[in-house]
Structure 1
Amino acid sequence: MPKILSGDMGPTAVYINHKNLLHNFNLIREKVKPSKVMAVVKADAYGHGSTEVAKTLENENVDYLAVAFPEEGIKLREAGIKRPVLVLGAQLTDFFQAMIDHKLEITITHLDQLKFLQNLTKESGKTAEIHIKVDTGMNRVGFYEAEYYQALEIVCSSKRIQLKGIYSHLSSADEDDTSYTQLQINRFNKLRQESEPFFTDEKPLFHLANSAAIMHYPQAYFDLVRPGVMLYGNPPAPGFKTNWDIHEVMSFKSKIALIKNVGKNEPVSYSRRFYTSAETRIAIVPAGYADGYNRKLTNKGEVLIKGKRFPVIGAVCMDQILVKIDNEPGIEVGEEVILFGSQGSQSIRIVEIAEKLETIPYEVTCWPSGRVNRIHLR
């Protein structure tokens, strides 16, 4: 008879190790001194939980936080976060008043935004804090050089617009070919030097370095760096070489819910993508693609049970995966299953999964869904 797990609710969860988070943050802060650190907590802190991550970093006196959208910043404010928060990227002017009201720093990417903000602050009597984004070669968001200087002139003549920073974004800092990244760094540095005459009082923070640049391009540190994926212990891409001792912050775990024996030459799971070659012992684990275990791991994935690797067989289902455990002794219903993370001396790293699926670690940590518990370990 199959063995069925009972009395244990919600076995699938991600675990967020705040000691590892602090290790990574303090390592970055120490190595980039005297540059400041802007911790990127967009996309729910890359799936790690933005409010909890922000609270930990605020307690450690992080200089800045960064999000992608106004609602992400408002969420931090409503959770009591007081540190400066920059909203990255292009934003609709509809949300400018809400950002001002919640003391979020606004990214300005074109002149129409700036002119709108001038009128808005004049009418409301409130001051807006902004960062100007310049496009040094990614050709996505930001001012090209000619309009950048027009923007500076407008800002410098505006009484209620405070320029807090000027920044750009590197498109290729994780690649082996360094030429384009160095070109972007040079363009940004030239722009920084030529901007000096505009600043007679408080100078804005110039910032450029993302995680890849922090690890490979110290000449890109300028006044502030923006660690994202490395803050959570992952390299920006499979094959990226670094000697930085960063530790993974997220692990993904479940438990065996059922163990059954399947006969020889039988299909397993949807679409009969796996056939048994002999009588096979299978563990059913209640974690599927709706939880964040990617369906492309069908017949490719591995999990850890009792410190050993076992293959995922057949199609990944919405709510379950099937694991071939054969005659491995001591495996019982309720046994812990590591989807990624460490167990004993073995690890399944996030970057390993990313490489297997030809993607990047950023995507893997964003997979776990809202129905998966997030357990914060401090």
Structure 2
Amino acid sequence: MSLAAETVLELDLGALQHNYRFLRSKLAPACRMLAVVKANGYGGDATTIALELQELGVDYLAVAYVSEGAFLRDAGVTLPILVLHPQPANFELMVSKCLEPSIYSERLLNLFTQFAQAQKLVAYPVHLKVNTGLNRLGFDPAETVLAATAIQKEDALSLRSAFTHLAASEDSAEKEFTLKQLSAFDAILPALRQKGDDKFFAHATNTSGIINYPQAHYDLVRTGIGLYGYANEASLDKQLKPVMRLKTVISQLHQLKQGESVGYNRGHVAKDAMTIATLPVGHADGLPRALGKSVGSVILNGKHAPIVGNVCMDMIMVDVTGIACQEGDSVEVFGEQQSAEELAKKAGTISYELLTAVGGRIKRVVLR
């Protein structure tokens, strides 16, 4: 079956390699890299991406939840994996898969300490999350030092890293705020290093932080969206390559007369005679309803074809008037000719949301 026969999400591993090497080039030789592969590798395929990054030489992986890390272990991933938001109900699975928890609260620390003691663990690696201003998860800076002290005294645990999360590293208008976050982290870092194990490392920067705050690379950097081809800045996006390309196919062409309508609730009424194409991809596949009514478009034979009417669950209709095409032609929703960031902006959202929303029923095709 050819790629033009159905809706597919292409995963370009050559683009992933390019992005990895580009980001590596921004680091000092001794600085390590953690790749974020949560949410099914930002909507792609976590197993494929994680195994490729493992081959490329990435140092660490991160996922949001224990189940994601367990899935990667079962697929053969051997790299250390940080779980950013572990839940007490999954401690047993986490330890059985050698996943390393981010400890972000006193309650979580107490619960995991009790679990580790009961399981007779020895120096199990944990990571302390410091809240310096994002106000999502994490200990306040002063509390972090107390937590580190408790870990240091506990034979069952070992402090492997301490990290914070920058709230606005891509926004130059928020530079002062970002520097305050880094200052708060720097103030407690010497004490945390003293309490860490012999493999201890500190980290703070995300993709935008890697580029904009090289002084904050510390021992390791975290990158997610940059690996997938986006850097939250147009000039940098041009130096990266989109890993994911969502493609579909023309199922049927219709000729409409003036006054005829398209789709549910007559979302579009033809002002003149027009040709529309129906494509087998819809909001169940991750295309926001906000892209309908000519807000968004797809690329067909090098030209933009506006999405007309309302986005349906399984289909969209696009205006192909004046575009030479036929049933069975391949169509790009996002990728090389129209980036996910460009399409997301039309819907009033961001590339992260568009990428991670790509539905599981869409076939993933790996390109090497």
TM-score normalised to structure 1 length: 0.92
Indicate the residue corresponding to 2:316 in structure 1. Answer: 321
Cα distance in 1 between the residues matched to 2:3 and 2:113: 57
Instruction: Please tell me whether residue 56 in structure 1 is matched to residue 52 in structure 2.
Output: yes
Indicate the residue corresponding to 1:116 in structure 2. Answer: 111
Instruction: Please tell me whether residue 96 in structure 1 is matched to residue 86 in structure 2.
Output: no
Instruction: Please tell me whether residue 264 in structure 1 is matched to residue 264 in structure 2.
Output: no
Question: Is 1:269–1:315's contact at 8 Å kept on the other side of the alignment?
Answer: yes
Cα distance in 2 between the residues matched to 1:370 and 1:203: 38
Question: Is 1:256–1:334's contact at 8 Å kept on the other side of the alignment?
Answer: yes
Unaligned runs of 5+ in 2: none
Cα distance in 2 between the residues matched to 1:122 and 1:66: 25
What does the per-residue CA deviation read over 1:68-95, in whole Å, with 9 as the maximum and x for residues that have no partner? 0000000000111000000003x32222
Amino acid at match of 1:339: V
Indicate the residue corresponding to 2:301 in structure 1. Answer: 306
Q: CA deviation at 1:25?
A: 0.9
Indicate the residue corresponding to 1:39 in structure 2. Answer: 35
Cα distance in 1 between the residues matched to 2:350 and 2:361: 23
Matches for 1:1-378 after TM superposition, within 5 Å = 11-33=6-28, 34-89=30-85, 91-127=86-122, 128-177=124-173, 178-199=175-196, 202-236=198-232, 242=236, 245-298=239-292, 299-329=294-324, 331-342=325-336, 347-378=337-368
- What secondary structure is seen at the aligned counterpart in 1 of 2:312? coil
Q: CA deviation at 1:10?
A: 6.0
Q: CA deviation at 1:349?
A: 1.1
- What secondary structure is seen at the aligned counterpart in 2 of 1:138? coil
Cα distance in 1 between the residues matched to 2:27 and 2:2: 50
Change (3 A) 1:40 1:196: closer
- What secondary structure is seen at the aligned counterpart in 2 of 1:290? helix
Question: Is 1:24–1:233's contact at 8 Å kept on the other side of the alignment?
Answer: yes
Change (3 A) 1:10 1:290: farther
Q: CA deviation at 1:59?
A: 0.9
Question: Is 1:215–1:242's contact at 8 Å kept on the other side of the alignment?
Answer: no
Mean CA deviation greater in 263-272 or 80-89: 263-272
Cα distance in 2 between the residues matched to 1:112 and 1:303: 48
What does the per-residue CA deviation read over 1:275-302, in whole Å, with 9 as the maximum and x for residues that have no partner? 1111111111111111222211112111
Cα distance in 2 between the residues matched to 1:180 and 1:212: 15
Change (3 A) 1:179 1:313: same
Change (3 A) 1:326 1:243: closer
Q: CA deviation at 1:318?
A: 1.1
Cα distance in 2 between the residues matched to 1:336 and 1:114: 52
Q: CA deviation at 1:181?
A: 0.6
Mean CA deviation greater in 261-270 or 36-45: 261-270
Per residue, is there more helix in 1 or in 2?
Answer: 2
Amino acid at match of 2:61: L
Mean CA deviation greater in 150-159 or 320-329: 320-329
Equivalenced residues, count: 364
Q: CA deviation at 1:109?
A: 1.1
Question: Is 1:281–1:326's contact at 8 Å kept on the other side of the alignment?
Answer: yes
What does the per-residue CA deviation read over 1:149-176, in whole Å, with 9 as the maximum and x for residues that have no partner? 2111111111121211101111111212
Q: CA deviation at 1:306?
A: 1.2
Change (3 A) 1:172 1:194: same
- What secondary structure is seen at the aligned counterpart in 1 of 2:172? coil
Cα distance in 2 between the residues matched to 1:9 and 1:291: 17
Question: Is 1:174–1:240's contact at 8 Å kept on the other side of the alignment?
Answer: no
Question: Is 1:215–1:244's contact at 8 Å kept on the other side of the alignment?
Answer: no
Q: CA deviation at 1:113?
A: 2.2
Indicate the residue corresponding to 1:3 in structure 2. Answer: none
Question: Is 2:255–2:273's contact at 8 Å kept on the other side of the alignment?
Answer: yes
Q: CA deviation at 1:8?
A: 9.5
What does the per-residue CA deviation read over 1:121-154, in whole Å, with 9 as the maximum and x for residues that have no partner? 2221223210011111111111112321211111
Q: CA deviation at 1:207?
A: 0.5
Unaligned runs of 5+ in 1: 1-5
